[in-house]
A and B are shown apart, each in its own frame.
Chain A
Amino acid sequence: MGRKVAIAGVGLTKCSSHRKDVTYPELVYEAVSAALADAGIGFEQIDAVVYGSMDTFGGVFAPERWCVDSCVSAGFLNKPMLKITTGGTTGGSIALGAYYHVGSGMFDVVLAVASERVGEGLEAQLVLNTAVDPIYERWIGAGAITIAANQASSHFHYYGTTQEDLAMVAAKNYANALNNPYAHLQRHLTVEDALRSRMVSWPLRLSDCCPSSDGACAIIFASEKRARQIAKQPAWVRGAGQITDNYFAVDRPWFHDWDSLAMLARRVYKLAKISDPMDEIQVAEPYVAFSIQEILEYEALGFAEPGKGAELIRKGVTAMTGKVPFCPSGGTLCTNPIGATGLVRVAEAALQVMDNADKRQVPNVKTALAHSWGAVVGFHTMMILDKEAP
């Protein structure tokens, strides 16, 4: 097996619908310099960069080129830089990329950077529609919202989940986002407010759907020796992976269970030697772009039996005061810089493990879970972070 790898520094930017106060390179610089400051190291100590962004959602194509010198002067210094794009999982995929960069033994300190500038692009759903097959699926308007609506209506039908359950997820995550200075949507939302918000694609209302945001995120991954030198409390990678489901969404009629995520969870838990996630994981930052997905994720990630996910939100198990808080940052439902969102999940999980999450800190975290999904609900990434080296 490869070397032990840990997160040694995290940098986030404030997210909003359009960060007009900064140019694209300045936005990326904001995240990178925050990560370097958090780690307390200089730009010259970074051996390689892994960059992620979903180009087609922003106004400039291949923005990593424009932003290359915001990433520890990688262009000026001719450093190795690798661009990875995998839709919504992009951020999760670059976290994996940086993990393997260090794990290979070829690099000791690697910077993962992700960014998105949605405010200068087309409406994201129009772009996403180009992902699906032009003959079979594009004309039905397939995109993230419609597929998530299928997940919800299917879960309602088979398992009796209700719009009230979705509203409770939204209210919880909106409340959590109030504790997160980097969150995009920061407003009070009650269950009643959520149930009164505009219907977008039945049964998903506006408060059940994520915004699209401008934002960036940077994480420093380091080898065992360097991580111990750099960070007082590194967040060690205990297990990680990705799974690829088939691309024709309509070939996956079982929307009420997220089988591919359940399969990935089993693989990653095996790597991380986790047998009971509910008892062994203290906080989760899954990718909840739509409220229904948090309930599907409770089940697929092994925190609830299939069909019983809604009980966790009803009983407050995943609230900030519950046994395993989900989305203490407010999650994707409140902040979604598309290509960076997956990396933000890893960053938030790392902050929890490093006891650096300020007002959104969950007490006594040893192990945290980060997840992202992408494509037409076909890709997933996971990473388990821990206070102790594996």
Chain B
Amino acid sequence: MNRRVAIVGVGQTRHAEFRNDRIYWENDYEATKLALEVAALDKGQIDTVISSGWDAVDGRTISDMHTCMGIGGYLKDSAHVGEDGILALAYAYLRIASGQFDTAVVSGHGHREASLEAMSKVVYDPLFTRPVGANYLASLAMQANAYAQRHGVGQDSAAKVVVKNRANGVHNPYAHLKAPVTLEDVLGSGWVAYPLRTLDCPPDSVGGVALVLAAEENVKRITDKPVWVKGIGWAIEGYYLGSKDLSEMPSLAAAAQRAYSMAGIKRPLEELDVAEIHEPTSYHELMAYEALGLAAAGQGARLIDEGATERGGKLPVNMSGGALSTNLLGASGLVRAAEATLQLRGEAHGRQVAGAKLALAHGFSSLTGAASPTNCVVVLEKG
């Protein structure tokens, strides 16, 4: 890499079920304003801005006409990543590393203005997959089922993920769902798509999140609490649901491998202090443990059963409450990066892991559900 890049500002709105007082890009605006305040930078000191999300989710085309203006892009060099916001972070990282820009704002929002079920049907090819009735959640349920069947993972293991994350969400003032749930609540909640119950699935949240990035040379002047991007990797996966082994997440494994090799991480479970994993369903957090190399294949449930990933465990995962507590469709991955940043700045308050120095953030970018997701892994280090 040409030069190192750090996160120097972080901001997020209080996430909620519904906001009728704003248009989608005002979420980006509020989060960016907060992030710039943290970095003590004026928008005039930002070289480039990258927004994110899916136009069809926002209910209009070229959504970045509005988001990029909302995050200070006027007369600047901007771009829009049509993915979860964590890939906007990846792109801003590349832009700064290239030496062409010194500072960047990255933003994402959740503010769904269209039916995900309807929209996620038209991401499938019209001949083979669409007639099956696949949509975002149905495909993730097929994946969860394939995983559970192959490794004998019980519904209670997945339910424990929900209980853990929802209990963590109680301590996150920004979280959408702040009420804890019990194992009985989860296992007693209604079916959505087998084996997923209502509480195995994330809510649909409205809110915004933003990060400010800076090049090595500028970091010292901006903050004494830089959070360095030590490793980053992303990878995409094959498309046809019937043409791959749904019980695995090979794109996440590939992304993790790239990020770890860049960061020099060999034993992630031992070396990482805290992780924020983007779990589109409870089962996917267990699958992610394995793809991230925290557990051997089929052994993900052991981590949750042994309490290794809960508060006070060996590697606390989703101290923020995860996507199961707050789910910005199109920015849940970027929220993970923001939460990991707060951990390393020592500003996570009630959800802080004491002395965290090395953190992992993961984003699952997909409107296609289990068909061709892009996974992104970022390893962050306290400066």
Instruction: Write the residues of chain A forming the contact surface with B, with a CB cutoff of 8 angstroms.
Output: 1-3, 24, 49, 54-57, 59-62, 65-66, 68-69, 74-76, 78-87, 93, 96-97, 99-101, 103-106, 127-128, 130-131, 241-247, 260, 263, 374-376, 378-379
Q: Is B73 an interface residue (CB 8 A)?
A: yes
Measured between beta carbons, the chain A residues less than 8 angstroms from B60 are 130-131
Q: Is B13 an interface residue (CB 8 A)?
A: no
Evaluate whether A65 and B99 lie within 8 angstroms (CB atoms) in the complex, with A2-B2, A60-B122, A78-B250 already known: no
Give the contact stretch, choosing among B75-83, B204-212, B279-287.
B75-83
Give the contact stretch, choosing among B89-97, B179-187, B333-341, B345-353.
B89-97
Q: Which of B94-136 contact A (CB under 8 A)?
A: 94-95, 97-100, 119, 122-126
Asked whether, in the complex, the Cβ of B94 is within 8 Å of the Cβ of A62, the reply is: no
Known A81-B235, A103-B100, A241-B77; further 12 A-B contacts with Cβ < 8 A = A3-B98, A55-B56, A75-B239, A78-B251, A82-B374, A83-B81, A106-B97, A131-B65, A243-B77, A244-B69, A245-B75, A375-B64
Instruction: Write the residues of chain B forming the contact surface with A, with a CB cutoff of 8 angstroms.
Output: 1-2, 49, 54-56, 59-62, 64-66, 68-69, 73-83, 87, 90-91, 93-95, 97-100, 119, 122-126, 233-239, 250-251, 253-255, 258, 367-368, 371-372, 374
Residue ID in chain B nearest A24 by CB atoms: B125
15 examples of A-B residue contacts, CB within 8 angstroms: A2-B99, A56-B61, A60-B126, A61-B54, A61-B56, A62-B54, A65-B123, A65-B368, A65-B372, A78-B255, A80-B233, A82-B374, A96-B79, A103-B97, A375-B65
Report the separation of the CA atoms of residues A60 and B237 in the bound assembly, to the nearest whole angstrom: 18
Report the separation of the CA atoms of residues A59 and B100 in the bound assembly, to the nearest whole angstrom: 36
Residue ID in chain A nearest B367 by CB atoms: A62
The list of the 9 closest CB pairs from A to B, nearest first, reads A103-B98, A78-B254, A104-B97, A87-B62, A75-B238, A2-B98, A2-B99, A65-B372, A85-B82
Measured between beta carbons, the chain B residues less than 8 angstroms from A49 are 236
Measured between beta carbons, the chain B residues less than 8 angstroms from A74 are 236
Report the separation of the CA atoms of residues A99 and B101 in the bound assembly, to the nearest whole angstrom: 13
Minimal beta-carbon separation of B131 from chain A (angstroms): 14
Asked whether, in the complex, the Cβ of B61 is within 8 Å of the Cβ of A127, the reply is: yes
Measured between beta carbons, the chain A residues less than 8 angstroms from B250 are 78
Report the separation of the CA atoms of residues A24 and B123 in the bound assembly, to the nearest whole angstrom: 13
Asked whether, in the complex, the Cβ of B61 is within 8 Å of the Cβ of A131, the reply is: yes
Residue ID in chain B nearest A83 by CB atoms: B82
Asked whether, in the complex, the Cβ of B56 is within 8 Å of the Cβ of A82, the reply is: no
Contact of A82 among B81, B253, B258 (CB under 8 A): B81
Asked whether, in the complex, the Cβ of B371 is within 8 Å of the Cβ of A105, the reply is: no
Report the separation of the CA atoms of residues A375 and B93 in the bound assembly, to the nearest whole angstrom: 25
Measured between beta carbons, the chain B residues less than 8 angstroms from A375 are 62, 64-65
Evaluate whether A60 and B123 lie within 8 angstroms (CB atoms) in the complex, with A65-B372, A79-B236 already known: yes
Evaluate whether A106 and B1 lie within 8 angstroms (CB atoms) in the complex, with A75-B238, A80-B233, A85-B80 already known: yes
Report the separation of the CA atoms of residues A80 and B233 in the bound assembly, to the nearest whole angstrom: 8
Asked whether, in the complex, the Cβ of A79 is within 8 Å of the Cβ of B2, the reply is: no
Contact of B100 among A69, A100, A131 (CB under 8 A): A100
Contact of B74 among A2, A69, A83, A246 (CB under 8 A): A246
Contact of B99 among A1, A75, A246 (CB under 8 A): A1
Report the separation of the CA atoms of residues A298 and B224 in the bound assembly, to the nearest whole angstrom: 48
Measured between beta carbons, the chain B residues less than 8 angstroms from A3 are 2, 98
Measured between beta carbons, the chain A residues less than 8 angstroms from B68 are 244
Minimal beta-carbon separation of A259 from chain B (angstroms): 10
